[in-house]
């Protein structure tokens, strides 16, 4: 009975309304992420922006995009560059010099000269590095 009361037009308008609500929330979360990613903005300014988003949701997001939209891309690119740099540093720290056989043999030679490892251990490291 309830299904008979819903027309195709009502279903279409409901779908459109849900679509735009999802789009609005995606933009809102993007704006909030940008707002809290920005280290140049003071805490009070962030508070007033969030308060503006609560009082006038659509107008607040629209004004934020107009006023600070140009910097959003720059801050996003800077955050991605920092994350990439951190990842590259992590990979280099984990990998160390294990990828270069010449460095492994040179380090093993230094250990051999210092008396830390024996000749047999040096030969084993050298064979493993060259394999």
- Mind listing the pLDDT tens digit for each residue in 58-116? 999 999 999 998 889 898 898 899 999 999 888 877 766 556 788 888 888 888 898 88
Is 103 part of any domain?
A: no
Task: Give the pLDDT of residue 98.
Answer: 58
Q: pLDDT tens across 5-16, in order?
A: 888 899 999 999
CB 5 within 8 A of CB 38: no
* pLDDT score, position 107: 86
Residue 49 is part of which domain span?
Answer: 3-76
Residue 128 lies in a domain: no
Contacts of 128 by beta carbon, 8 Å cutoff, 6+ apart: 104
Q: Are 52 and 60 in contact (CB under 8 A)?
A: yes
Residue 27 placed within a domain: yes
Q: Do 56 and 24 contact (CB within 8 A), yes or no?
A: no
Q: 14-53: per-residue pLDDT in tens? A: 999 999 999 999 999 999 999 998 888 899 999 999 999 9
The average confidence (pLDDT) of the chain is: 88
* 18 assigned to some structural domain: yes
pLDDT at 4: 67
Is 122 domain-assigned?
no
- CA 33 – CA 44 distance, rounded (Å): 16
Report whether pLDDT(1) > 60: no
Residue 87 lies in a domain: no
Does any domain span residue 14? yes
Look-up of token digits 């990828």: 99
Q: How many domains does the chain have?
A: 1
Query: Is 70 a member of any domain?
Result: yes
The phi-psi region of residue 115 (left if phi > 0; otherwise alpha if psi is between -120 and 50; otherwise beta) is left
How deeply is 44 buried, as exposed, middle or buried, from its count of CB atoms within 10 A (0-12, 13-18, 19+)? Answer: exposed
């Amino acid at each position: 009975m309830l299904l008979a009361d819903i027309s195709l037009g009502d279903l279409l308008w409901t779908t459109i309304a849900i679509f735009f609500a999802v789009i609005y929330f995606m933009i809102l979360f993007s704006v909030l992420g940008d707002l809290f990613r920005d280290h140049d903005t003071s805490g009070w300014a962030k508070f007033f922006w969030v308060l503006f988003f609560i009082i006038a949701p659509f107008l607040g997001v629209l004004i934020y995009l107009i006023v600070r939209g140009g910097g959003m891309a720059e801050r996003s690119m800077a955050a991605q560059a920092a994350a990439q740099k951190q990842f590259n540093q992590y990979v280099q720290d984990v990998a160390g010099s294990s990828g270069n056989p010449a460095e492994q043999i040179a380090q093993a030679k230094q250990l051999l000269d210092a008396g830390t490892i024996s000749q047999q251990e040096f030969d084993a490291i050298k064979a493993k590095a060259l394999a």
